[in-house]
Amino acid sequence: MTDELLVVRAQLGDRTALAEMVARWRVPVWRYVQRMLDADRADDVSQEIWLAVVRGLPRLREPTRFAPWLFAIARRSVVDRLRTEYAAAPETPVRDDRCVEDLSETVVARAELVGALTSLPVLEREILVLHYLEDLSVQDCAHICRVPVGTVKSRLNRARRLLREHLSEKGYQS
Amino acid sequence: MTDEPGLSAREMLDRLDTTLSRGTRIRAVAALLAGLAGAVFVTSLWWSEPGPLPDRTHLSFTLLTVFCLAWAGYGGWLLTRRVPLFATEQVVAAGIALAASVGTTGITVVAAARSGTGPGPALAVGGLFIAAAATLAVRARARRAALLRRMRQLTRQEGP
Q: What is the pLDDT of residue A122?
A: 81
- The amino acid occupying position A126 is E
Per-residue buried b or exposed e for A112-134, using 16+ beta carbons within 10 Å of the residue's own CB: eeeeebbbbbbbbbbbbbbbeeb
For chain A, give me the number of helices (H) and strands (E)?
A: 8, 0
Confidence of residue A21 (pLDDT cuts 50, 70, 90): very high
Confidence of residue B116 (pLDDT cuts 50, 70, 90): confident
Number of domains present in the structure of chain A: 2
d(CA B35, CA B106): 17
Sketch the domain layout of chain B as residue ranges: 9-158
Q: Is there a single domain that holds both residue A54 and residue A111?
A: no
Q: Is there a single domain that holds both residue A87 and residue A104?
A: no
Please write down the HEC assignment for all residues of B33-96: HHHHHHHHHHHHHHHHCCCCCCHHHHHHHHHHHHHHHHHHHHHHHHHHHHCCCCHHHHHHHHHH
Q: Is there a single domain that holds both residue A88 and residue A110?
A: no
CA atoms within 13 A on the CB side of A166: 17
Q: Is there a single domain that holds both residue A73 and residue A110?
A: no
Q: How many residues does chain A have?
A: 174
More confident residue, A112 or A131: A131
- Mean per-residue pLDDT, B49-68: 88
- Mean per-residue pLDDT, B140-155: 94
CATH classification at residue A61:
1.10.1740.10
The parent domain of residue A37 ranges over 1-92
CATH classification at residue A113:
1.10.10.10
| Residue A122 main-chain phi, psi, to 5 deg | -60, -35
Express each pLDDT in A124-144 by its tens digit: 888 888 887 777 888 888 888
- Mean per-residue pLDDT, B115-142: 87
Indicate the residue of A4, A38, A54 with minimum beta-carbon distance to B154.
A4
For chain A, the residues whose C-beta falls within 8 A of a C-beta of chain B are: 1-2, 4-5, 8-13, 15, 18-19, 22-23, 26-27, 30-31, 34, 38-39, 42-43, 46-47, 50-51, 54-58, 63, 114
Q: Do A19 and B20 touch (CB under 8 A)?
A: no
- Above 60 in pLDDT, residue A94? no
- Above 60 in pLDDT, residue A92? no
Q: Is there a single domain that holds both residue A6 and residue A88?
A: yes
Q: What is the pLDDT of residue B99?
A: 92
Q: Do B147 and A10 touch (CB under 8 A)?
A: no
Q: What is the pLDDT of residue B146?
A: 95
- Among residues A92, A123, A154, the one where a domain terminates is A92
- Among residues A61, A92, A123, the one where a domain terminates is A92
Confidence of residue A100 (pLDDT cuts 50, 70, 90): very low
- Above 70 in pLDDT, residue A171? no
pLDDT > 70: what percent of chain B? 98
Partners of B136 on chain A (C-beta within 8 Å) are none
CA-nearest residue to B20 within chain A is A54
Q: Is there a single domain that holds both residue A71 and residue A85?
A: yes
Confidence of residue A120 (pLDDT cuts 50, 70, 90): confident
Write down the mean pLDDT value for chain A.
79
Q: Is there a single domain that holds both residue A1 and residue A81?
A: yes
- Among residues A63, A92, A121, the one where a domain terminates is A92
Q: Is there a single domain that holds both residue A67 and residue A120?
A: no
- Mean per-residue pLDDT, A29-47: 87
Q: What is the pLDDT of residue A39?
A: 79
Confidence of residue A98 (pLDDT cuts 50, 70, 90): very low
Confidence of residue A24 (pLDDT cuts 50, 70, 90): very high
- Above 50 in pLDDT, residue B67? yes
CA distance A59 to chain B (A): 9
- pLDDT-wise least confident of B4-8, B61-65, B154-158: B4-8
